[in-house]
Amino acid sequence: MIYTNTLPGIFLSRPNRFIAHAEIDGETVVAHVKNTGRCKELLVPGARVVLQKSDDPARKTNYSLIAVWKGPRLINIDSQAPNKVFLEHLQAGQFIDGITHIKSEAAYGGSRFDFYVEAGARNIFIEVKGVTLEDDGVALFPDAPTERGVKHLNELIHCVRAGYEAQVVFVIQMHNIRYFTPNYNTHSAFGETLTAAKRVGVTITALDCTVTENSLTIGVPVPVKLS
């Protein structure tokens, strides 16, 4: 996926989860943060960031904060990007062969999954999770407790028991990752449920991304370690 009208800036502060103050060429601007997560290890005063300028006169802010440099690594923090970039990956036939149908926001039971895919005799529900938390080359999810995430995993388990294929895909919004693992310290129940999901047949995949200041592209699979 491509971003237009991007420009570099310096992060100053985050008064609330929706708004950030940043500096562009010596001028302080207000930007919409495209991620309501904590991002505490990323959004620190002085961090280099990437902003996208909007020409929409109806917007309250003229800028959106889409990526942050953490040392030499550029991390995309746009929470809408993982689904978009994964859909491009699906449509290109790079994840599942022989796709004949893709439905976004597919309802099943009490949940709404990101994608439902048909490929020959295969009927597959897929839930996508964006990952922005990294520690020493290890990607972790979640960065905050997520009961909704646990619910999705339990619904995927029900899908498998009902005869469907079910997959959870962690789109790691950065490059050069050693492996992915659940963040047990933040939400142990999510890690335990993810392990239980794998035992019953839910496929777990982690994919890194190539990130630039104006693009995001699915990269390669990275190892998944559940314990």
The model's pLDDT over 1-44, given as tens digits with 9 standing for 90+, comes to 999 999 999 999 999 989 999 999 999 999 999 898 888 899 99
pLDDT at 140 over 90: yes
pTM for the full model?
0.95
pLDDT band at 60 (very low <50, low <70, confident <90, very high): confident
Closest by Cα among 115, 142, 33, 48 to 79: 33
Question: Residue 2 has what DSSP assignment?
Answer: B
The model's pLDDT over 88-111, given as tens digits with 9 standing for 90+, comes to 999 999 999 999 999 999 998 878
The model's pLDDT over 194-223, given as tens digits with 9 standing for 90+, comes to 999 999 999 999 999 999 999 999 999 999
Q: What percent of the chain has pLDDT over 70?
A: 100
Residue 201, Cβ neighbours under 10 Å: how many? 14
At residue 92's C-alpha, the angle toward residues 91 and 97, to 5°, is 85
The two three-digit tokens of residue 24, written as one number: 């562009």
**pLDDT number for residue 59:** 83
**pLDDT number for residue 110:** 79
**pLDDT number for residue 194:** 98
Q: Is there a contact between 200 and 159 (Cβ–Cβ < 8 Å)?
A: no
